[in-house]
Amino acid sequence: MTEHCIIRKKDGAILARAPADKVYAIENNWYIHPDYVDRDWFVTSDRIYDCPIKGSCLWVDIKVGKTFSNNASWIYTKTLPDYDHINGWYGFYNEHKHYSHKECDTA
């Protein structure tokens, strides 16, 4: 079975790992159910982005050593009707300066 992983580039740490039924691919981004995200790596901000297509989300910062990389991920908190299925899920870029997405085999 294949899973989806978000992997930190610096050291290969797994930031999120989820089975395919807990992941959505939308507009070349990945949405992962929060139960499969290692929240020790992330801090949810109070910065809001209003997307005219999906709704409102909060930006999530990733821990990088003793600092943070802002806006590395996001969580939709108020979705528009067509996107209710990603409400509360973490959004990840397909490629980011600190992480990348890849399919990984289950152990």
Give me the domains of the chain, ranges plus CATH numbers.
Answer: 2-105 (2.170.150.40)
pLDDT tens digit sequence for 74-104: 999 999 999 999 999 999 999 899 999 999 8
pTM: 0.92
pLDDT tens digit sequence for 21-72: 999 999 999 999 999 999 999 999 999 999 999 999 999 999 887 888 899 9
Residue 79 near residue 55 (C-beta atoms within 8 A): yes
- Tell me the residue type at 3: E
